[in-house]
C-alpha cells in the first residue's frame, strides 16, 4: 500500500488515521506518532489574535519536536530532549 509519510499521521478532532484516500482532507496532520508511542501535536502561534500553523509538532510526554521537510510528507526529529 502507498505510504503517506514516514510517521503515522492523524487528523481531525477524533484522531482519524490519514491514508492515501483522505490525505487531501486532513493534510497537514493535527497529530503524528512520536517515538515514545504518544501523539505529538501540531504547534500554532498567535499573531494579532489569529492562529498561524507552524511546521513543527511537539510531544508533551517526552518533549521531542518534529518538523516536516519542505516539499515532502516526511518528518525529521529536531530535538531529542527526552527527559528520563
- pLDDT values of the chain reduced to their tens digit, one per residue, 84 residues: 567 789 999 998 899 999 989 989 989 999 999 999 999 999 999 999 999 989 999 999 999 999 999 888 999 998 665 555
Question: Are 57 and 41 a contacting pair, CB within 8 Å?
Answer: yes
Whose cell is 501540531? That residue is 42
Round to whole Å and give the CA distance between 64 and 82: 7
CA–CA–CA angle 73, 79, 81 (5° rounding): 140
Q: What is the pLDDT of residue 17?
A: 94
Q: Where are the chain's structural domains?
A: 9-80
Amino acid at each position: 500500500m502507498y505510504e503517506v509519510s514516514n510517521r503515522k499521521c492523524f487528523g481531525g478532532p477524533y484522531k482519524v488515521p490519514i491514508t492515501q484516500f483522505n490525505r487531501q482532507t486532513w493534510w497537514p496532520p493535527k497529530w503524528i506518532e512520536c517515538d515514545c508511542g504518544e501523539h505529538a501535536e501540531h504547534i500554532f502561534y498567535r499573531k494579532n489574535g489569529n492562529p498561524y500553523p507552524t511546521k513543527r509538532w511537539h510531544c508533551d510526554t517526552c518533549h521531542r519536536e518534529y518538523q516536516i521537510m519542505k516539499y515532502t510528507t516526511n518528518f525529521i526529529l529536531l530535538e531529542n530532549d527526552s527527559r528520563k
